Amino acid sequence: MKLKSENGSAKVFFNNILTSQQSSKPFNLATQEKKLQIMSFVMILRGDNVLLQQQIQNNKIDLQIVATFKLKANWASLHYTFSLLGRYHLQIKGKS
């Protein structure tokens, strides 16, 4: 089976406002090969400053992450194309 990543992206939201976005480069993934691509984000938190200030005072920041990836799979004469969608809630806490 051959698996190929066509494209992918991840977006980070604070209070439903896009704060950061990162795309991944296409790559091939053979059956025996495992590959991890690291995505790094530079975030500028903007939007509801009052909510951000409250969350910082409570020693935590809540973020939402939406990731989408388009993949192609070939197995013998069968060809599949599918999309993966992930939604995540990330809570960043500091030490008290």
pLDDT tens, position by position, 9-68: 999 888 888 888 888 877 777 654 555 566 666 666 666 678 878 888 888 888 899 999
Global pTM reads 0.70
**What does the domain layout of the chain look like in residue ranges?**
2-93
CA–CA dist 75, 91 (Å, integer) = 40
- CA distances to 57, 68, 88 from 72, rounded to whole Å, are 45, 14, 24
| Beta-strand pair 60-75/78-93 | antiparallel
